[in-house]
Amino acid sequence: MVATYIQRRILPKELQLSPVYIAPLNGIGILAYHILKQAGVLVQGFIDNDPSLQGERVCDTLILSPQQAIEAHKNATVIICSAKSRHAIKDQLEAIGVGSIIFSDSLLTSENVKASLSAAKNTVFPAAPERISLGEFDERFVMDEKLLEQPDAFLFENLVVCVTERCNLRCKDCSTLMQYYKHQEDIPLEEITHSFDMLFKTARYSKRINIQGGEPLLYHSLPDLVRHIGAKKVCRQLYVMTNGTIIPSHELLTAMQESDCGLDMNIYPGYEKKADEIERLCQEYQIDYRIKFDRDDWIDMRKFVDGRDWTESKLQQHFSDCQSYCVYLYRGHLYYCAFTAHARRLGAIPDDDLDSIDCTREIKIQLLIHFLVENKPVPSCRYCSGVNYSHGDRVMVAAQAKKTLPYPKFQ
Ligand code: SF4
Ligand code: SF4
């Protein structure tokens, strides 16, 4: 058997309905172009602010300024292919009236990359080749290519390990449903490490593992868990996700440094006070870090709905439209998403064994493949509004609830 990656990303609908542009012209943009071409999507052109590139051609398409692209196609969808400048590019495009903007992440699944990498590498660039770093995708994907050659390898794109339901904030619209927990608890370290080890007896590797809560910096055993996961050498990137309101301890920073674990901070308005100090510590301990000042509205996601009377095809469509993109290890089970895990824990949806995989005992690889690769909805999708980054309702970032919120329940 060849290696299997989780690949449940489908092409967002916008890409099938409106003219598509890619911004800016860089290695990832070229890769996205070839992925879309493979999928039968015609890309109208690239958008780039560099005047020396505008008017040139690449991949049989024109390179345009943002203004030229929107004049040519008022209803264009633009795929942003830049990690560092994504918000600046998004702001610029929105300011000139681009209504439909997608980030490239959902296209860059390993199967997609594998199918399109050599075409991307063979692309001839028109000018300014130093700007179009082929190393950019070599560095990111060469390890995946090697792994994909291994037999019997089951590889995750993105795995979340949830360590606690406790959080020092109570965001009304927390996508992991923490605002509904009356009794927030830590998950015992042994329970997490046991299920993690069982999972990686069958799975080989994850491109990224995020340790998440609630707020994981409240979790006392975090240094031990970081060391445990780091020592397994089963992921390319290991990150602790935090809201940036707690200064990490020396013990944690040391464990992170030794385990090559980064800190990923989402800082919310009104909670910026400690960000500088945390950044300084990351630099001092030479820890990879990322800070995002989360000022855009949030998308309202994973709300409770009642879809018990949905037909199978309506359920499948609802699931296919959902852009949730990680799998979630929580209390000994592997779930498709945080909603399923926590709605079940909160008793809001019926218990259904088909919603998760039991990771407290040996897992058959066929079960993993069936569960995660076949693109089928899980029973809990009937109770969840799903995740839609393009069309979901907008809510204020990190608006706080004064007390635990009541959660609707399946009756
Ligand atoms: S900071 Fe807010 S969004 Fe993050 S886990 Fe806590 S309650 Fe949820
Ligand atoms: S329960 Fe289904 S619809 Fe909801 S986030 Fe998970 S996969 Fe998406």
What are 133-178's pLDDT values in tens digits?
A: 444 444 444 445 555 555 555 667 789 999 999 999 999 999 999 9
pLDDT at position 93 is 92
Q: Is the CB of 341 under 6 A from ligand 2?
A: no
Q: Is the CB of 174 under 6 A from ligand 1?
A: yes
- Residue 205's pLDDT band, with cuts at 50, 70 and 90, is confident
DSSP state of 348: -
pLDDT at position 149 is 53
State percent of the chain over pLDDT 90.
47
- Residue 304's pLDDT band, with cuts at 50, 70 and 90, is confident
Rounded to the nearest whole angstrom, what is the distance from the C-alpha of residue 398 to the centroid of ligand 1? 7
Q: Is the CB of 169 under 6 A from ligand 1?
A: yes
H/E run at residue 100: strand 100-103
C-alpha distance from residue 235 to each of 23, 157, 158, 241, 356 (Å): 29, 10, 9, 16, 22
Residue type at 234? V
Q: What is the CATH code for 154-395?
A: 3.20.20
pLDDT at position 130 is 43
Which ligand 1 atom is the nearest neighbour of the CA of 245? 1
pTM comes to 0.73
pLDDT at position 15 is 66
Q: Is the CB of 339 under 6 A from ligand 2?
A: yes
Which ligand is the nearest neighbour of the Cα of 352? 2
Q: Is the CB of 384 under 6 A from ligand 2?
A: yes
Among 9, 300, 301, 302, say which to mutate for ligand 2: greatest number of ligand atoms within 8 Å of CB. Answer: 302
Please state the rounded mean pLDDT for residues 317-343: 89
Among 10, 158, 319, 327, say which to mutate for ligand 2: greatest number of ligand atoms within 8 Å of CB. Answer: 319
Residue type at 98? V
Report the distance separating Cα 335 and Cα 287, nearest Å.
30
Q: Of 35-49, 175-189, 288-302, 362-376, which one has max mean pLDDT?
A: 175-189
Please state the rounded mean pLDDT for residues 42-64: 89
Among 160, 164, 171, say which to mutate for ligand 1: greatest number of ligand atoms within 8 Å of CB. Answer: 171
Residue 54, number of CB atoms within 10 A of its CB? 16
Please state the rounded mean pLDDT for residues 325-333: 91
Nearest CA to ligand 2 atom 5: 386
Report the distance separating Cα 36 and Cα 108, nearest Å.
10
pLDDT at position 388 is 76
Residue spans of alpha helices (H) in 179-238: 189-202, 222-232
Please state the rounded mean pLDDT for residues 53-64: 89
322, pLDDT greater than 80: yes
Nearest CA to ligand 1 atom 3: 174
Write the DSSP assignment of 46-99 as a string of letters.
Answer: EE-S-TTTTT-EETTEEEE-HHHHHHH-TT-EEEE--STTHHHHHHHHHHTT--
Q: Does domain 4-124+133-148 have CATH number 3.40.50.2300?
A: no
Rounded to the nearest whole angstrom, what is the distance from the C-alpha of residue 371 to the centroid of ligand 1? 28
The residue extents of the domains of the chain are 4-124+133-148, 154-395
Write the DSSP assignment of 325-393 as a string of letters.
Answer: --EEEETTEEESSHHHHHHHHTT-S---GGGEEE-SS---HHHHHHHHHS----GGGGGB----TTTSP
Least Cα distance to 357 among 335, 331, 337 occurs for: 335
Report the distance separating Cα 295 and Cα 310, nearest Å.
36
Please state the rounded mean pLDDT for residues 255-272: 94
Strand, helix or coil at 410?
A: coil
What are 349-359's pLDDT values in tens digits?
A: 998 988 999 99
Instruction: Output 392 or 284, whichever has higher pLDDT.
Output: 284
Write the DSSP assignment of 331-344 as a string of letters.
Answer: TTEEESSHHHHHHH
- Residue 320's pLDDT band, with cuts at 50, 70 and 90, is confident
- Residue 231's pLDDT band, with cuts at 50, 70 and 90, is very high
H/E run at residue 1: none
Please state the rounded mean pLDDT for residues 299-312: 88
